[in-house]
Structure 1
C-alpha cells in the first residue's frame, strides 16, 4: 500500500507523499481532497487529470483543500449567541428562530417557534407554509469545518456567519455566529456592501421589450 512508506508519521499527525496517479477526483488545477483525509494536487498531463499525493491527514484531522492543509476534525455543536439586535434564523431547526434585543445594557434572546407545518423564511422573515414545502427535510444551512470559516446564509445575502470554536473542557466544538448586515446591504464574503440597484429606466425597459 502506498501509505506504508510514511511509517510512524501517519499515527502522529500527517505524512507527506509525492506519488502521482490518474484522477477521478480532479476537476481543476490546485489542491483537492480525496475521502476527506488525503490532500492531493491536481494538474493536467497529456490531456489527463493527474493527482499527486501531498498529505495524509492523521486520525483526528481532516483535509481542507482551500488552504492545502490538514485541520482538526472538530464536531459541530448546538449553540446560538446573539451578535446584534434583530431576528435571526435558528442554525439547527427550521421551525424556530431567535429574536435578539438589548435590555438594561445586556443582550437577550428569545427562541420563537413557528406554527406546526410552517418554517421560518429568511426571505420574508416570517413563518411560512411555502418554506416548509420548499425544504421539508430542513437541510443544514451552514458549513463549519474550522474556526474562522465564513459563509453567506442560503437565499439571503443580508445574513452571514463566522464559525467559532467553543472551548468546552471535554470536547471543543464549532458553531456559527450569525450576523446581519444593515437592511439595504449584503455580505460579499468579506464585508457588508450596498446592494446593487437595478436600472429601471427607459433604456432597461426597451432592452427587455426587444
Structure 2
C-alpha cells in the first residue's frame, strides 16, 4: 500500500512539474475539446526516459522518428497539419518528449499550437484529380496527398519540416521534402484571376494546372505518362 501511494504521489508531482494546462485561446477547453500543453525547462540534467525511447509523429506507415531538430528550438512545434510535437528543455537543448494529435482541429506552425481554423499552410487549394502526391502550385512548404477511401478520393494537405520545401522530382521522381538551399528550390505556378486555361507546372511538366475563371487557386493534374504539352494540351 505504501509503495502504491508513493507511486501515485510521484506521478502527481511529475504532472505538476511538466505543467500540463488545458486552454484554447483563453476559452473553456471543455467547449472546444482542445489541449494546449505548455512545457518548458524541467530542470533535469537528462531527457526523461520516454523521450529517449524514440518519439514518433504521424499515423500508420507515415510515422517519422523525431529528433532535436524537429523541436525547432522550442517547447512545441507542428510536425504537420494535425500533429503537435512536445519537447523538453535539457541544458539548453529541446528534446522530443511526445507527439500529440490535434483531433478535429489543426496545428498552426506560426504559433505552434492546435487551432480551430485551418492556417494557410493547411487549407486545401484544390480537389483530388487522381491518386498520388502532388506539389502545391501556390506554396512550396506544403504538398497534397490524394488517396482512395471508401470509393472516393480524399485530399490531405501535408507540411514539410521547418526549412524544407516539397520537390516533386526528389527521391528519384517520387517526390519528397528537401532542404531549401536557394530561392530556386521553391517553385510556384499561380493563376491570374480571369484565366481559363491549362498550363504546365513550372518545375515539373509531368504536372499541369487548370486556371478556372475568377478563382486564383488552380486545380492540379498529373499526366498518366510523359509531360504536358501546352500547345497541344495533352500529355506526350
Class of the TM-score when normalised by the shorter of the 2 chains: 0.3 to 0.5
Structure whose residues are more often helix by fraction: 2
TM-score normalized with structure 1 length = 0.46
- Whichever of the two has the greater Rg, that structure is 1
Bigger relative contact order (CA 8 A; separation at least 6): 1
TM-score normalized with structure 2 length = 0.41
Structure whose residues are more often strand by fraction: 1
